[in-house]
Structure 1
């Protein structure tokens, strides 16, 4: 049988079992042969009809199985040859067969071939109807015609007792006789049938086909015909019937009447319809499921692909059906797919695996199941999942570095606060001492380098406190021009290409200036014999497709700054590592390896993006993508011309758990004329505030022991004294006053380490604010 196109490639085990069940329960013998005409299926009714059990005949060649009458062997061999050559895809034949006990039975064979995807004969399905009784009846009927009318009664008794419906009609199809089996089949009496005809009882949609067959018979083009059609019983119910019609002729060959043997095949048709419906439902399920699915036969050829498989593989079913998977996707031979598919097929075990297929640039999660026809493969793309896993791993790595850096920065910045502060005081006190003044300046400069190093670590770990604002990037770069020229020297020629109508960027301008200066210095170091440095700006819109390929990048509008040099370039083998902390290509002692990592961390913390393009010997371009903000850029901050008064007479409360830092701050405040109170933690500070109502400003560390942060202390203090001014300080802010990398609105913050002048300026500015 040729497969229905709607079920092509379907191999679900359940459907196969259901089909076998229906074939075994058909009221007819069903035999299936392979392409060598060996028996592969022998139904229960075949066992009943011929007497041989299935286990005795499965695998036998038709020549080795003597159940064809010797007189019919030659004609049967011709039929087999026609079927195997495909010249008779549907063939009906009648021949004599022998049962296991040697009894001759006459059978009507309905043969149909099934082709494989190459158009070759894959199998032959034979449905066998025992017509011995019908033939005996027909012969007996012919015999009775030759006898006298006195034998009519005996002929009628034989027909009446037959289990199959038998009728006699004139050449117009009007009923002349109907046996009891046919009357019971349609619910009519024989008398009622004589007043009607075959065409009236035939379903309207099948009448024309019946007329065409009858016309050929009456025209002498055939001796009889078989037709399967729908008939209507007395209640109007539709029955499927197989009608075997033959003509009764007189001695001159003229047709006297028509005899039809009629079999109710409604159950068979319903079983076929259920099987087809099940196959269609399974096919729809395969087509509508989210997983891609395909079937491979024993030769690794595609026999079915659902729509999702076509989409994922970027190939249509027409291109792939009947083709070898390893030839159509040759790169898969080098992947885990080859090993797992062969293991599943060879050992009959399901395999689950994940692999990357380069030509499609996709990761696949695959389940392969061995089936009777070959291999069933369910798969889906997990590229996005892999990308998210990489993001999670990166985030976890950054979190680990952040915790490590934060803990180190907190303690280190406390030390640097004291060192830098006292170094500045020593520099001022020893300004006129030729011998000691250089030593004091060396201490101060070393402390500053330590502070810069700590700040860069915090920048990479995205733990610095940013103050982003709407920024005019072109104006910021113009303001850096002179500083860049002085820093880079005369060997580096600079050019600027600033885009027109540039959007405002949401960025911390001071950190951005530091990043641009850092990149420019790196570019200078990559051009030891001089060269060209180009800084460009332009508006860009990043698509979802581009954003999906980069960690933590959202699609949208950005302002792009490109810093390009004509230096030595970066080797391909190390390009992926240039943003790692402490990785540097410079000579030992020439770099910390934190410059690019600081830029990377700053951009990521600012919801931006950084990308590097380089060719060895041809230079490097680093592009910074700054998130767009739809508001006018803020005016740049301008320092006041007059010197700020750094003294005062107000009373301040200093809260700091590090005793060295606390005593240093108190000493600086008292030297500037302020009254100073001090506490080591939040509860101690609240006790002082309750006892002394004259305190004007709270200067508190953010992170302190004892379970109360500086933020929590300030909230409690402001409930008691709403007009109290608050300044936070910390070397590592965590999340108390900084969220998403930004200082909370209205927060006054002085980052550690700080110098005495910065401390006193912040105190004075805060006290003088309305």
Structure 2
């Protein structure tokens, strides 16, 4: 080792030693002060929490009549006490809050120079982390952001009696301030000592060389280990220096990129605005610029990045290079797109709900008269026409049901499904694809069936239809040159079997074994409908199973095993019994004239029926004991149906309420709790009579 290097090493050791001694001393003192402050905050938070719980328990017993209730009594005492409390530290603060919906609402904020209440803070946001933990029934300490966005040391504690949270905190900057000053003094003292030592050896060393070497090493280490991509480019756009992270982002090696320009890897749609920014930087109009753009990955995909670009100049003022710092934001962009898609789906769902409601009301006015004709006419031609109307209503009802299930994501109830009938419908529905579209392309595809007489299966009609549609589409895609699709059903003991076979390209053994894995596909496009993974999950939920047989060039056969539908004893027809029952007083609250007219016509044969078309008018006219059963629509002018039901129940607890609505409501919808029974439009005669009979029985039971 040369003398100059020994001197430089000695100077370095002296510097490090001085800084380490000072740093360790300051760190130990700071850590001690930090822990003492932390214990103090914990003591304040816990003692205050226990005290408030005691006050709350006392007020719960003795302050019930206080304006605003016992909690308000407790809060008023706390506020009064803190008016006389000076506080602690320059930034020490004591806060109380509770949760209202998706926000944290502050009830008390005490700083030595400020008692103004902070604004509510979103519960799921980044601010007020200590209070969020307190309101989540957690207890402890944390260094995090408070409601102002300042970094604080805080102790938090839940107040179980009141569902409040309490936080005692102090700005971290206040704790650090004296130690930052002490550290600066220690550092300056150490540097002074080092400087004196350096002067003593200045004639025998060359500190500038060492400094340059260390600077180069620090730069290289930072450059290569940075979590973001960094690139240096000449004024013409050629890359002259890159770190590994930048190369990893777009899949090229450094050698490959050093022969390219940034223009060659930039998406064409983003190139013009980037060129504009670069020109402004080179002209001195911009010191730096930031933009979101797309790079073209080596595999052809697009990578979204956030680019921050600036120019680096020589001491003489000439341009040295352009520097770009690149952050990968692809995942964020994907999340933004998913949010947009979710918002669109929500809008579609709201539209579908409104359309379904109107269609269900209209179908009720068509369905009920058709059912009345079915029961009253002896003319076979008229009965046949009525049967056709009723069947069309059922089909429309099923379409509406599937529409709502698709946009709402609700799970269908298991039902009795005629598999052969659904197969015929699926073939007819897909004919534009396998027949018309194929023939237009000069391709011949034939679908044949061998459908045995089998029992109804256990599943959902829309689910079975979707499975068949997707299997047929998959089969068509697997036969680009045409071919034959065979659908078979058979019954073996108590089990039903459906097979869909094609003469397409088939799958190799590896693909066949992975066929039921999520996102597994032999297609070139991602949009593969349900996919075999989803079909497998649906069939399994029904208690069935699915198998696939395939070989390259020999086509594919999918066989689905399904369980039979187990019929449950149906309730005996009680129409005669209903007719023999005494006449009751019924009120129909429905604003759709067609619906209430048909309902009135049906029910007035056995009961006294009155119709009101306005919710507010119904409440004004209602009196206890006036009606036995009330049938109420949900969407009413004036007052909503659930509000009408709730108010009626207050006036007469014995009256039975029946909801009739065209809206598709979830089981957990709170509005359903206001009603005893629920009928979904379009209505069926037997369901109407059953619901009214049960409502009368409930009314009589309440009287007794």
Range class of TM-score, shorter chain: 0.3 to 0.5
Query: Which of 1 and 2 has greater Rg?
Result: 1
TM-score for the superposition, normalised by structure 2: 0.47
Q: Which has the higher helix share?
A: 2
